[in-house]
Structure 1
Amino acid sequence: MVKKTTRAALPLALALGITATATVSGACGGREKPARVSSVVRTDAGLVRGVSSGDVRVFEGMRYAAPPSGKRRWAPPEPVESWSGVRDATKPGAACPQTGLTPPAGPRSDTEDCLSLNVTTPRGKSAAARPVMVYLHGGDHTDGEGAMHGAHRLSAQGDVVVVTVNYRLGALGYLAHPALEQAGRDESGNYGFLDQQAALRWVRSNAAAFGGDPDNVTLFGQSAGAASTCAHLVAPSSAGLFDRVILQSGSCLDEENVRTRSEALRAGVSGATGIEKTHGLDDWRDARPAQLVNPFGQGPAYGPVYGGELLPRTPAEAFAEGEFNKVPVLQGFNGQEGRAGAYAAEEMKKAVTDDPGARLDEGDYLERLREQFGEESAGEIAARYPVAAYRDSPALALGEVLTDSHLGRLTVESNRVLARQVRTYTYTFDDRETPWYADEETYPKPSFPMGASHTFELPYLFELEEIAPLDEAQRALSEVLIRTWSRFARTGTTDWAPGTPSSANARSFASGPEGLRSVGLAEEYRFGFWESLPASRS
């Protein structure tokens, strides 16, 4: 029974961009643990002790803001108080409160003393300060933590300083409610976003102490982390906090990631019905985090709120008006993103039918098309993506539809508007033989190949302990990705030409001798077809 529940939840983890727990540091597979030697650094608030391990130094659980509890709950983050002596930074800080319902998310946490970050920096000295890369994790703004992503390889091979961040999640990070508006806070619904800004300010102030260049900061994120990065790209108050951005599996033009203030307030009022036995804001501030996480639920109720002084324009509006933080952009997605959705559909069928061997059939495929795209378009889509063309696999056909209709289409559109105004590079991650979970008993492989599905590029950049080790070809591709990401962080360029408004000029990454190639993005992901459908035009 437990394993069936875990398996049913796994597709949500795939769809939300949540990965596995990471090691503090280690070799390429993330499993070797070199000898650890104490290393002390002075931050602007006091001394911290991390460890030198192998070819990196690691500092974990460093507070960048005061605990957001009590009167600080649903308020902008406040500076951490300075200290005397040396604070321990040898283990991760607590994850911010979250449901933990999407394994393998961050641990279920009931402490709000969670605004910490982790720094991984190369051990050797450098003639020049190193680029800094600040990573925002995925997890639908409800789950995850910075320490899930071990940055040993990225830091050592890329010769960069990597920072991973915890920020408030769910209702504690993104609740918008009239009671908070009445308190005179335009920030209602954006507390997690404000935490990220505080972390970026910490990086500007402290990067040099870790060998980093405070004037060369790349902000990057995956899935919900990419959506947050988009918000910083258009936030006036984020200007000057970073110098380039990388967007992994998240388009700035994705309307699913845009909450208007009115929508967010309605969602907050609706969610509050789950805690009506309390008597308003003061009681909410005294409630345990667990009392607030579940009533407000999961999913699209959370994320940055647009409309107001903090985020006056949506990304689409900001790009159209040319009012955004104009820095170089590297954007992209995984070539089989949508297979996570197909896997979720198949796992749901197993749960509903109580049949562990259930598979999607052609009727399920057509029903999904009608549900998502409407009766009028479903027939056209089924004709363009016939099951027979996908090894007679409805799951593979559905995965292709979900990839092309969503991030394939949106990335072409994003390039069109961004390439007119900033240097914009586009990639696709297309490795078809990606690693699965090491524990296949708990996480059985699906009935069809997942390929480069949602989140599956992450083990090539980070150490993820529960994922099977990379093989030789995958390790070689990992080195290419790290070289590309770190070059962009260092120079704001890649080794292929930027896109133009008429062509993304995308680079495809896969393992093997023919793995690197140019991609006609609009053609490969059938942009013209999707643009022609009524659902795409509405």
Structure 2
Amino acid sequence: MNRVKSFRAALACAVLAMPVMAGAQSLSGPVQTQQGKVQGAPGKVEGVTVFKGIPFAAPPVGDLRWAQPQQPAKWEGVRDATQFGDVCVQPPAPQRFPPNGATDSPNFTGMSEDCLTLNIWTPAKKAGEKLPVMVWLYGGAYNEGGGNAPFSEGDNLAAKGVVMVTFNYRVGPFGFFSHPELTAAGGGASGNQALGDSIAVFKWLKANVAQFGGDPNNITLFGESAGAAMNGGLVGAAGAKGTFERAIAQSGAWMGLGIAQMPKLADMEKRTLEAAAKINATSLAALRALPAEDIAKNFRGQGMIVDGKIITEDLSITFAEGRQNKVDVISGSNANEGSFTSSFGPPTTLASWTQGEGMRWGKHVDLGRAAYPASTDAEAAAQAPMPFSDTLAWHMRLFADSQAKTGNKTWTYWFTHEPPYDEGRPNLGAGHTAEIPYAFDNLAAPRTYPAGSSVTQMAGNPREEALADQISQYWVNFARTGDPNGPGLPHWPSMAELGPNETMILDADNKSGKGPWITPAKSELFQAMYDERVAQPLGIAAGGD
């Protein structure tokens, strides 16, 4: 390991010593940030410069473990920014398909708690160009991921005219952790460290991105799954007000990937103390003294919660009452989000499908049967993954509807395109994560779990490349103006142009455009479940009234 690090250090010095070739790099000299100068390197696309591993906060180690992010230290001279920083502590998954893109890829340089760094791809030739800024929040069930994942490299988006940013936020029990002593020290709040990391990035960009050619007053977040849920949370979070202007949520929002109330601080503190008691380390000092491996082994991340400071109330209340941050939004999901769940447990039969009705639908069994009729084993097996997909679609539409009521530019989509899959791999259709290669215009990059579509069949395929160019251009246009539409693109209707069961369909073969969404029977079912499980307990008017 020491030999590898020595080689990397020597390579970094060699890169810094290399003369800059004319036309090979846009920002050819070091860039000044508030902490010091950084030197990047040419990206994979001509005219794009990449800066990697820039600290945006102090290392959250020792007494700063579980603290909200602190200001990064300044440095003298020019900092090498040609290598990704360490990813945050998380479980690798080298035997899984697809593997963990943060830990099991050629971009992996190490893993530690000292992981709060960001990466910038910019097409700018000089500071002050005021290009729109796009910031990616990765998914991974709040438990894995990093800004170094190959699929999220930003060269192709940057080449379309944006400053593209990825970063590491703390995951698992390091990024979502509550404790009574943390709450006392935080003025009655603890948890949501990962949201704090995100806000610290947005503030760092407000202060520094102009030096990389970006517009600090035009920052767009985009993310998928857990990253999309965090986007939804940040749109609603009082603690994130004024730190960004737009958000794209791909398959997730403030309730996560379903319909539920947000966890409460007191409940999460109790969970922490119960787990800590089992290892005889209940005090915050004792927990901070433990090796990171022991924390990862004995504690689970708690996800986004009502922490009392960043998120001050259940965000279903915030969105229902129109008090969320006034930012432009794109929200949507994929037609087969739940396809990966078909491999969990035994095959669904009509008997098991019927037996599970009460658990799925509660007192709304009749609505559930109307929305998902099944009279044979084959029909039951086909219906089994659909409630996951459709519940998420309904949640994303609720997000869009809520944001549209604030007067902001708001758009929604349903990704129905089925990419090709390699022989021997599960064909998940338009599954969870399937849209990511298209949004990044990165069809040649390894995929992220679970929708492992074919790299070899998609990269260079005119049909697939055209869709990737289209979707990524929608994303870039939205980041630029708040409107995804532009020359040469199928018209994307605004929320005002859509009927109750219509959406923007994203698909290849010129099928993109306004089209049918989930059925009215499904929409009625999910509204009833939301009213019972979320709205009524929280005192929100039922049915969105």
* CA–CA distance in structure 1, aligned partners of residues 483 and 153 of structure 2: 25
Aligned to 2:361: 373
**Which whole-Å deviations, capped at 9, do the CAs of 1:251-297 have from their partners, x for residues lacking one?**
33555472221222222223323432x36221211211111012113
Q: Structure 1 523/180 Cα, relative in aligned 2: closer, same or farther at 3 Å?
A: same
Pair 1:64-2:56 in alignment: yes
Matched to 1:270, the amino acid is E
Q: Map residues 70-469 of structure 1 onto 2, 5 A cutoff.
A: 70-100=62-92, 103=96, 104-105=99-100, 106-107=102-103, 111-122=112-123, 128-148=129-149, 149-156=152-159, 158-254=160-256, 255-256=259-260, 258-276=262-280, 278=281, 280-297=283-300, 301-343=301-343, 345=344, 348-349=345-346, 359-374=347-362, 377=364, 381=368, 384-386=371-373, 392=378, 394-404=380-390, 406-421=391-406, 422-432=408-418, 434-436=419-421, 444-446=424-426, 449-462=427-440, 463=442, 464-466=445-447, 468-469=454-455
Alpha-carbon deviation of 1:380? 5.8
- After superposition, the CA RMSD in angstroms is 2.9
* CA–CA distance in structure 2, aligned partners of residues 294 and 509 of structure 1: 41
Matched to 2:268, the amino acid is A
Alpha-carbon deviation of 1:69? 0.3
**Which whole-Å deviations, capped at 9, do the CAs of 1:382-429 have from their partners, x for residues lacking one?**
564345799x3644321223212x112223333332221132210111
* CA–CA distance in structure 2, aligned partners of residues 378 and 36 of structure 1: 63
Matched to 2:263, the amino acid is R
CA contact (8 A) 1:227 1:257 kept: no
Aligned to 1:12: none
Alpha-carbon deviation of 1:512? 0.8
CA contact (8 A) 1:429 1:452 kept: yes
**Which whole-Å deviations, capped at 9, do the CAs of 1:40-75 have from their partners, x for residues lacking one?**
322221121221133221111111111110111121
* CA–CA distance in structure 1, aligned partners of residues 231 and 372 of structure 2: 33
What TM-score, normalized by structure 1, do the two folds share? 0.80
* CA–CA distance in structure 1, aligned partners of residues 29 and 384 of structure 2: 51
CA contact (8 A) 2:371 2:522 kept: no
Alpha-carbon deviation of 1:174? 1.3
SS in 1 for 2:267: helix
* CA–CA distance in structure 2, aligned partners of residues 525 and 419 of structure 1: 23
SS in 2 for 1:461: helix
Q: Structure 1 234/529 Cα, relative in aligned 2: closer, same or farther at 3 Å?
A: closer
Matched to 1:63, the amino acid is P
Structure 2's unaligned 5+ residue stretches are 1-22, 105-109, 486-491, 534-545
Matched to 1:511, the amino acid is A
Q: Map residues 470-485 of structure 1 onto 2, 5 A cutoff.
A: 470=458, 471-485=461-475
Alpha-carbon deviation of 1:39? 5.7
Matched to 1:202, the amino acid is W
CA contact (8 A) 2:38 2:78 kept: yes
SS in 2 for 1:331: strand
Aligned to 2:13: none
Alpha-carbon deviation of 1:184? 4.5
Compare relative contact order (CA 8 Å, sep 6+) and give the higher one, 1 or 2: 1
* CA–CA distance in structure 1, aligned partners of residues 277 and 125 of structure 2: 55
Identity among equivalent pairs (%): 31
CA contact (8 A) 2:49 2:123 kept: yes
* CA–CA distance in structure 2, aligned partners of residues 39 and 364 of structure 1: 64
CA contact (8 A) 1:96 1:168 kept: yes
What TM-score, normalized by structure 2, do the two folds share? 0.79
Structure 1's unaligned 5+ residue stretches are 1-34, 350-358
Matched to 2:432, the amino acid is H
Q: Structure 1 77/519 Cα, relative in aligned 2: closer, same or farther at 3 Å?
A: same
Matched to 1:179, the amino acid is E
